[in-house]
Structure 1
Amino acid sequence: MSESNPQNPRITWEGCSVLLDINDGDRLVFARLSPSSTIKIGNKKCCLSPLIGCPFGSLFQVETGPKGPYLLRLSATAAAESDHLKEKDDSQPTEGTNDNRSLIDNNKAQSLSGEDIDAMRREGATGDQIIEALIANSSTFDKKTLFSQEKYRLRKQKKYAPRVLLRRPFARSICEAYFKKHPARIGFMRVDALSLLLSLADVSAYSDVLVVDMVGGVITGAVAERLGGTGHVCNTYFGVTPYPMDIVRIFNFNDQICGRIVQTPVADLCSNQENKIEHFISHENTSSLETQPDADERSLSTTCILSDDAILEVQSVQEEISNDSLVKSVSVSETFISSGNGTSDHMDVDPCSTKSLDVIHEENASPVLKTCKSVKPGRQASPEAIKLWKENGFTSLIIAAPDLDTWKIVEELLPLLSYSAPFAIYHQYLQPLATCLHNLQTAKMAVGLQISEPWLREYQVLPCRTHPFMQMSAFGGYILSGVRICSNKPSHQS
């Protein structure tokens, strides 16, 4: 989603990621919308193009037309009537004269055959009409209890008229979907554990959060979502290969939020970067001056801005603008564009914008502005940003690395935090966190240490049938939290 063409985040667009909830949670599918994308529901293959341009929360039903199965969007009135009918049936008492003791399942109660159903489909009957025909031709439907009738209707609706709910992917829905489908990919982290992790780490606007994310990127995406385009999320890693964070791409972040997600190895954060930064800047100045031929020169002043109110460095660069065709990509606060007739056009660019513009100059033609590709999350952190973090420290630390030694990670990264900064560590098992807590207490590196075990129970709330769900998750991992304090041991900040 580009900032030059802002999209309504409540309405889908071509290329966005969506979460498709099929038959009220029976199946969860992540999909990227395009005119050619399809999804298979049962034995029917439907195109996802009708979903483009619809608001999140829309309800669709699979219907069969002359060209095959397709997704039909249900109006708000039809969906409300269906929900009202269901609530009306649920509100009625289940006790009555009818019971299921005399019913025998011998496959003879239904007089409507499969050939009759296929004939109705060829004639253009909708899924709801087929369901009503099945109920009318069932000899045992009226003898069942109201609860059994509703279960029968729901079972037939899932088979002959499946429904698809268009959900917006955000931290909660993504975590719930992965925990249900592939819990190992997110370290068996439940949604309540993720929310508690963000709260204990005090993730808020304008924070600089250091993250070790080895659970697919769900923590990085959740932190960036809570920051809302302010502050930074520094995803650090050990070695030379960054940890995968494919889940971040599902969040539909705009360029502003994607520009706040950076990556850098632990070695760059822990080593002395001052000489390296000076060498990098001097090398950039030298290379830019060497590439300039002896011609008319114009001074271009650029300002490197790390955050909204922190100006790191002002650098002056001599840059040539000739009458020939020239393509130059710039991202500055103020730019003067020289046209072919020698006049200067002034263009103001938002300094907070993270996208760059291609400025194309042609002889005897006006400048043409083209928007570059969208900013991808996970770019390498700049040396200026690393220097600032080494001087001031990070405001929060979140670790979710089940495959690494927890204490070794904490011992290496905790000195990178500013004093009185909170940290939170997630692990699937208790013992690594208990060992880390003992070592932190012995070294007097943190206070307020505690290990929390999140607990979640989901209830079914219906008249006369309110009880916990029979199948539920009894385990959501453990979280070690605390606050960093000043210790006698030398830190990386000094």
Structure 2
Amino acid sequence: MSTSEPMDGISNKGASIGDSQENRDGVVEVTKAGVKAEVAVEELVAENNPHIIKEGDYVILCAGAKNNYKVVQVTKNAAKIRWFKHFVKVSALEGCYYGKHYEIAEDGVVESRYVDVLGESTEEHSGKDHRSIQQDYDSQKLSYEEITRLKKEGVSGEDMIKLLVENSGSFENRTEFSQAKYIMKKQKRHLANTFSLRRPTLPLLCDTTYQFNPERIQNIRSDSLAQVLTQANVHAGSRVLLLESCKGLVTAGVLERLGGYGECVSLYVGDKPSHPYVDQMNFDEKVMSTLRSFPLVDFDLASTYADTYGERIDTMAAEIVAKKQDVANGGEFTQKDQQWLARRIKKQQVMNNIYLAAQTLKKGSFDSAIMVSRFHPEGVMDRLLPKLMHSGQLVLFSVMPEVLVPIRNNMRARDDFVNASLFDTWTRSYQILPQRTHPENNMTGSSGYVLSATYVMTKDMCGISAFVPPPNKRKLIQMAKGGKKAKMEAEKVSEGTKEASDVETASTGDNIAEQVQELTSETAEVVFTDATK
């Protein structure tokens, strides 16, 4: 018994150790499964969160201190871009949030503690004037060597600005506005590696391009673009015919207002459409499905394209399906075949887009037509008018009024245009800060001129020679109320008229007979006289 007890104890101990190991393994597996589930949930939330930047999205880098912008696309293989004196790893922006400030780090970007100090009030610790401030370099207690050493040690820009403010002997004696300018000047120097991520919007893209390269978008400003879209009455469900030379900026504005409901046919010049601003707006598939592109050179052949392109697309699709089936059955698929298949699929997509645009053009009856192009609008306008429905809006934009004034005068002289008006927009930007609200020092003048008119149906189109006004409603009511009286009076008048007409007819017949008899006698006398002679 004594020998069996320790053996039983050992066996029990071994069993308990085995059980604990199994339990530990089970706990580890459960923990791993829980971690995987949490990661999956986080990925799902991040994928459906519109505020998180995803791969393939476009984002705008904005410097808070210098008001500089740069548009980049976030991809895994994107190269680094230069941001002032630093380089930004674009692929590291995936998973960041729109609207937040970030700081450039060695491995990528990290969230910054950037604070807009210009919006903060420092009235409690500010002076009234600058009489006691001397223009020398002794007011800053930190030397150049100390500032350089702090930078090498990795002190952030925000902490550096705080140290400079704390060690400045003249900062508290400055006025509130001078303190804000002082901090803004230090931000330009020490926060050059800090930027904010902003979501691409139509006004932001327009202002960014207008600030650095206005010729790229035909010198159209964001307020003028808004006027063009408003005058064209672009809204959800509209059918818009568009010709532009702004790299897709006006097209992006039309698609944004359509919101996935309606149709937009964009006429392009060249081999293929170029809409970089449409791509930068990060539209979803529903919004992009309303866009159709068609070459301007073949605009008059839209009906022919609508009738013939369908068969060509079906033939091409059959060739692609046959090639894929051949490869699936074990056929040879070389690199040359792979390139041919890729080109064929791409060509099919282009032809399908042209076919849909041709069908839309053949249908016609567009609600509005917009022209923001480098071409003279008068020659193209006459080609677009047959596709515009009656009571539709025609909107033209040009930088120079000399281009639009003759067209406006011609519209006013024609019968098929009403409400032809030519105007320009003037916008003034304001700085909105506490006790510092005033117009900005640098501003632009007119950004162009907008001509809008309504296309209507004339009397020649209706097939009538003159306009017949409808009967007066009040007279119809009076006639209905006194209908019986009017009928009786009309009968009396008709009876009296009939009797008078009979009497007049009888008297008239007697007079005619007497006149004929007199003429006959006179004629006989004349004939007798001639015969005697």
What TM-score comes out, normalization by structure 2 length? 0.66
Structure 1 residues 237 and 207: alpha-carbon distance in aligned structure 2, compared to 1, 3 A threshold: same
Q: Secondary structure at the match of 1:395?
A: strand
Shift of 1:218: 0.5
Q: What's the Cα RMSD here?
A: 3.7
Whole-Å separation in 1 of the counterparts to 2:209 and 2:327? 56
Whether the 8 Å CA contact 2:119–2:433 is kept in 1: the answer is no
Decide which of 89, 97, 109 is 2:121's aligned counterpart.
89
- The letter for the 1-side match of 2:177 is F
Structure 1 residues 475 and 287: alpha-carbon distance in aligned structure 2, compared to 1, 3 A threshold: closer
Whole-Å separation in 2 of the counterparts to 1:326 and 1:37? 39
Partner of 2:403: 432
Q: Secondary structure at the match of 1:210?
A: strand
Deviations 1:275-320 (A, max 9, x none): x544444556678889999xxxxxxxxxxxxxxxxxxxxxxxxx99
Q: Residues 407-426 of structure 1 correspond to what in structure 2 (within 5 A)?
A: 407-426=378-397
- The letter for the 2-side match of 1:19 is I
Whether the 8 Å CA contact 1:459–1:467 is kept in 2: the answer is yes
Structure 1 residues 376 and 110: alpha-carbon distance in aligned structure 2, compared to 1, 3 A threshold: farther
Structure 1 runs of 4+ with >6 Å offset: 285-293, 319-323, 373-380
Partner of 1:29: 70
Whole-Å separation in 1 of the counterparts to 2:406 and 2:267? 23
Whole-Å separation in 1 of the counterparts to 2:320 and 2:75? 43
Whole-Å separation in 2 of the counterparts to 1:201 and 1:14? 35
Partner of 1:256: 286
Structure 1 residues 246 and 378: alpha-carbon distance in aligned structure 2, compared to 1, 3 A threshold: farther
Shift of 1:271: 3.7
Whole-Å separation in 2 of the counterparts to 1:28 and 1:461? 21
User: Does 2:152 match 1:122?
Assistant: yes
Whether the 8 Å CA contact 1:423–1:481 is kept in 2: the answer is yes
Q: Residues 203-352 of structure 1 correspond to what in structure 2 (within 5 A)?
A: 203-237=234-268, 240-242=270-272, 244-271=274-301, 273-274=303-304, 276-282=305-311, 325=329
Q: Residues 41-190 of structure 1 correspond to what in structure 2 (within 5 A)?
A: 41-62=83-104, 67=106, 71-74=109-112, 82-83=115-116, 86-89=118-121, 92=123, 98-162=128-192, 163-190=194-221
Whole-Å separation in 2 of the counterparts to 1:383 and 1:417? 20
- The letter for the 2-side match of 1:461 is I
- The letter for the 2-side match of 1:30 is V
Deviations 1:86-120 (A, max 9, x none): 54416x389x7542244343434323233212211
- The letter for the 2-side match of 1:399 is M
Shift of 1:158: 2.5
Whole-Å separation in 1 of the counterparts to 2:200 and 2:410? 39
Whole-Å separation in 1 of the counterparts to 2:319 and 2:98? 53
Report how many residues are paired.
402
Partner of 2:358: 386
Whole-Å separation in 2 of the counterparts to 1:323 and 1:21? 50
Q: Secondary structure at the match of 1:419?
A: strand
What TM-score comes out, normalization by structure 1 length? 0.71
Decide which of 460, 466, 471 is 2:442's aligned counterpart.
471
Deviations 1:58-107 (A, max 9, x none): 12234x6xx48x53213xxx56xx35x654416x389x754224434343
Shift of 1:460: 2.0
Structure 1 residues 485 and 257: alpha-carbon distance in aligned structure 2, compared to 1, 3 A threshold: same
Whether the 8 Å CA contact 1:261–1:379 is kept in 2: the answer is no
User: What is the identity percentage for the equivalent residue pairs of Structure 1 and Structure 2?
Assistant: 25
Structure 1 residues 265 and 48: alpha-carbon distance in aligned structure 2, compared to 1, 3 A threshold: closer
Range with greater deviation from structure 2 (201-210 or 124-133)? 124-133
Where does the alignment leave 5 or more consecutive residues of structure 2 unmatched? 1-45, 332-344, 462-533
Shift of 1:326: 9.0
Structure 1 residues 170 and 376: alpha-carbon distance in aligned structure 2, compared to 1, 3 A threshold: farther
Deviations 1:439-489 (A, max 9, x none): 222233321111121121112233433221121122121111111112478
Structure 1 residues 448 and 465: alpha-carbon distance in aligned structure 2, compared to 1, 3 A threshold: same
Shift of 1:374: 11
Whether the 8 Å CA contact 1:200–1:422 is kept in 2: the answer is yes
Shift of 1:126: 1.8
Whole-Å separation in 2 of the counterparts to 1:99 and 1:375? 71
Structure 1 residues 290 and 425: alpha-carbon distance in aligned structure 2, compared to 1, 3 A threshold: closer
Partner of 2:531: none
User: Does 2:57 match 1:19?
Assistant: no
Higher helix share: 2
Q: Secondary structure at the match of 1:89?
A: coil
Whole-Å separation in 1 of the counterparts to 2:327 and 2:162? 75
Range with greater deviation from structure 2 (281-290 or 418-427)? 281-290
Shift of 1:214: 0.7
Structure 1 residues 48 and 292: alpha-carbon distance in aligned structure 2, compared to 1, 3 A threshold: closer
Whether the 8 Å CA contact 2:119–2:434 is kept in 1: the answer is no
Whether the 8 Å CA contact 2:217–2:246 is kept in 1: the answer is yes
Partner of 1:352: none
Whole-Å separation in 2 of the counterparts to 1:151 and 1:377? 55
- The letter for the 2-side match of 1:72 is V
- The letter for the 2-side match of 1:51 is L
Shift of 1:135: 2.0
Deviations 1:318-375 (A, max 9, x none): x998996399xxxxxxxxxxxxxxxxxxxxxxxxxxxxxxxxxxxxxxxxxxxxx999
Partner of 2:504: none
Whole-Å separation in 1 of the counterparts to 2:324 and 2:146? 79
Shift of 1:260: 2.6
- The letter for the 1-side match of 2:121 is D
Higher strand share: 1
Whether the 8 Å CA contact 1:397–1:422 is kept in 2: the answer is yes
Deviations 1:215-243 (A, max 9, x none): 221001111122122222211135x5456
Whether the 8 Å CA contact 2:370–2:395 is kept in 1: the answer is yes
Whether the 8 Å CA contact 2:127–2:172 is kept in 1: the answer is no
Where does the alignment leave 5 or more consecutive residues of structure 1 unmatched? 294-318, 328-372
